A and B are shown apart, each in its own frame.
Chain A
């Protein structure tokens, strides 16, 4: 087991290095970072542009730039200079990650719980009204664009605030700019209030796929011989379901969940955009518009690392949870 974990970590390293090279090339292809500066009217003196190029290391060759960037990140934890010279990329990224993590973690928990409950239920009662309903809802949420549903929910919240009780839902931002009572408790309440609507959006985005998966996986297990054996032994149906079937059926779900993290981060970008959160999504889109390449690089590096870590976790968990797969 230990050897497997070590080997698996060692395999991840070249993937991570490869992804830094790939993202570097792609970010370089997004355009000239000084484009906005050069297009300024009246024109900026050539000397200033040269200074900027030097500050951002743009006057070096691409391999040199890459080396400069990656060695700074690895050795000093420094993500390099931003276009706006007063920005500290590491700090901004950290703040944005905190915001997005709140949203993503809460959504994953909620949608997993919902997905398992409905998935198991519709597998056990296959072809019942409930099964058809949840299957249809699953398909509907699978086919619903996240941004459209987010806008719909946001408008619903605004409508409720205007017509029923004002100030029920927070529809803009991840926190209030100004709080009258600056205690710890009121801040948590404020965060939670802002979380409600975006969490619903992102939960449903994840829920759809996972409940379909749980259902399929549960059906497969319920039709297997060992469950039939457990039933014919005369075990209580509940015991068969929870102890025998559910445990096996949920193993693949851990992998799927971990692998879906990248897609979920994409969903978070869209959700954050609609609700005007200052999270990872906003950070990336702003950087892309300003061609702030070091911010983009830092962003892509951090998300790639997160996704690789989750893949690693999935593989290890798979081995731990499923006794049939023992990595010698």
Chain B
């Protein structure tokens, strides 16, 4: 797998095998440039074609969602009443709704809110979940029982119902939805991290750290969490995809992001009755949800292949 690098023979100061008498010139010594685990993973990821295409596409989508609104002539909250229910045209590429709001502008805003929420969910769940899992897996015993039962408990209730109940009495601003859904995704990360920690904590390097007098906090944060990072990153990506689907479903049910703000789920919900008459209102937000979730899922798959090569049959 490691690259064959320049033969040592090219470098004047190193002893050259090929020039030694008695050896055929075909036999050459190769040096192998040292590569860290992360460099190898990065290389595998860069070679994963679908994941790379998805990454570029996702970056473009983010550019579209975050930068796009600054360059577009219409605003998402503009209800001027002109050009109502227009089909897609040059002036309004995604058409307009019954209030004359430009759909491109609303889709950009919706994608922005949905992406913001999805990434916040993943970030929150990963940070809190990692600590939760590492504490649980490292200390074991009573702490572990309590923390894991708490995780079980949160996982017993359909997240959508729980999130709906929690978000119902709030303002419905984006960070509340992110907080609720992120909080409910935390136990998943905690469970995964705990599983990894359980096997890591018995390894020699942890024992060595303990023998050297490292504190529990130091072992957990300097030794255990960095070694869980690969698993955590993969799970974080999958959480982004799950997060965007969760948020849009919640907004679709009227329990997530609320008007006057908008999200992709809310847009689809509003276009429910208009699939026949104004299909552009329904298809564009839906396609953007699918595109975001699909690219994120593919990136997650590529990351898994890159960070955890045991799972692929063919070595890359």
- Collect the chain A residues with CB atoms within 8 Å of residue B23's CB: none
* Cβ-defined contact, A29 with B166, below 8 A: yes
Query: B156: which of A223, A274, A307 is its contact (CB, 8 Å)?
Result: A307
Give B275-316 interface residues, CB cut-off 8 Å to A.
Answer: 275-276, 282, 286, 289-290, 293-294, 296-298, 301, 311, 313-314
* Cβ-defined contact, B157 with A269, below 8 A: no
B248 within 8 Å of A (CB atoms): yes
Give B173-211 interface residues, CB cut-off 8 Å to A.
Answer: none
* Cβ-defined contact, A263 with B159, below 8 A: yes
Alpha-carbon separation in the docked complex, A147 to B156 (Å): 23
B229 within 8 Å of A (CB atoms): no
* Contact A15-B153, Cβ < 8 Å, known A29-B169, A273-B253: yes
Query: B268: which of A30, A31, A148, A300 is its contact (CB, 8 Å)?
Result: A148
Interface string of A102-119 (1 = CB under 8 A from B): 000000000000000000
Binding site for B on A (CB under 8 A): 11, 14-16, 18-19, 22-23, 26-27, 29-31, 126-127, 139-140, 142-148, 151-152, 155, 158-159, 216, 219-220, 223, 259, 262-263, 265-266, 269-270, 273-274, 284-285, 288, 296, 299-300, 303-304, 307-308, 311
Least CB separation from B169: chain A residue: A31
Alpha-carbon separation in the docked complex, A304 to B276 (Å): 39
B6 within 8 Å of A (CB atoms): no
* Cβ-defined contact, B249 with A146, below 8 A: yes
Shortest beta-carbon distance, A7 to chain B, in Å?
13
* Cβ-defined contact, A285 with B165, below 8 A: no
- Collect the chain A residues with CB atoms within 8 Å of residue B293's CB: 142-145
Which one of B156, B166, B169, B241 has the highest number of Cβ atoms from chain A below 10 Å of its Cβ? Answer: B156
- Collect the chain A residues with CB atoms within 8 Å of residue B153's CB: 15, 18-19, 22
Query: B252: which of A143, A263, A270 is its contact (CB, 8 Å)?
Result: A270
- Collect the chain B residues with CB atoms within 8 Å of residue A159's CB: 276
* Contact A143-B156, Cβ < 8 Å, known A18-B150, A148-B289, A288-B255: no
B234 within 8 Å of A (CB atoms): no
- Collect the chain A residues with CB atoms within 8 Å of residue B162's CB: 26, 300
- Collect the chain B residues with CB atoms within 8 Å of residue A126's CB: 313
- Collect the chain A residues with CB atoms within 8 Å of residue B314's CB: 127
B245 within 8 Å of A (CB atoms): yes
* Cβ-defined contact, B169 with A143, below 8 A: no
* Cβ-defined contact, A265 with B152, below 8 A: no
Interface secondary structure of B, over-half rule: helix
- Collect the chain A residues with CB atoms within 8 Å of residue B137's CB: none
Alpha-carbon separation in the docked complex, A151 to B267 (Å): 13
B158 within 8 Å of A (CB atoms): yes
Interface string of B144-168 (1 = CB under 8 A from A): 0000011011111111111011101
Query: A147: which of B252, B296, B311 is its contact (CB, 8 Å)?
Result: B252
B272 within 8 Å of A (CB atoms): yes
Q: What 5 new A-B contacts, CB under 8 Å, besides A144-B289, A265-B161, A311-B152?
A: A27-B165, A140-B294, A143-B289, A155-B276, A270-B160
B265 within 8 Å of A (CB atoms): yes
Alpha-carbon separation in the docked complex, A144 to B160 (Å): 16
Alpha-carbon separation in the docked complex, A142 to B153 (Å): 25
* Cβ-defined contact, A300 with B157, below 8 A: yes
The total of chain B residues at the interface (CB under 8 A) is 44
Which one of B150, B166, B249 has the highest number of Cβ atoms from chain A below 10 Å of its Cβ? Answer: B249
- Collect the chain B residues with CB atoms within 8 Å of residue A296's CB: 165
Query: A145: which of B159, B276, B289, B297 is its contact (CB, 8 Å)?
Result: B289
* Cβ-defined contact, A299 with B161, below 8 A: yes
Query: B157: which of A19, A143, A152 is its contact (CB, 8 Å)?
Result: A19
* Cβ-defined contact, B253 with A266, below 8 A: no
* Contact A26-B249, Cβ < 8 Å, known A143-B294, A219-B313, A299-B161: no
Shortest beta-carbon distance, A262 to chain B, in Å?
5
Alpha-carbon separation in the docked complex, A305 to B286 (Å): 34
* Cβ-defined contact, B265 with A23, below 8 A: no
* Cβ-defined contact, B158 with A262, below 8 A: yes
Alpha-carbon separation in the docked complex, A107 to B83 (Å): 43
- Collect the chain B residues with CB atoms within 8 Å of residue A148's CB: 268, 286, 289-290
Least CB separation from B238: chain A residue: A142
Least CB separation from A296: chain B residue: B165
* Cβ-defined contact, A216 with B290, below 8 A: no
* Cβ-defined contact, B255 with A19, below 8 A: no
Alpha-carbon separation in the docked complex, A14 to B153 (Å): 9
* Contact A285-B268, Cβ < 8 Å, known A262-B158, A266-B161, A269-B158: no
Least CB separation from A262: chain B residue: B158
Alpha-carbon separation in the docked complex, A303 to B248 (Å): 22
- Collect the chain B residues with CB atoms within 8 Å of residue A311's CB: 152, 156
- Collect the chain B residues with CB atoms within 8 Å of residue A269's CB: 158, 160-161, 253
Least CB separation from B167: chain A residue: A30
Query: A263: which of B158, B169, B275, B313 is its contact (CB, 8 Å)?
Result: B158
* Cβ-defined contact, A140 with B252, below 8 A: no
Query: B249: which of A142, A220, A262, A266 is its contact (CB, 8 Å)?
Result: A266
* Contact A142-B289, Cβ < 8 Å, known A266-B158, A266-B160: no
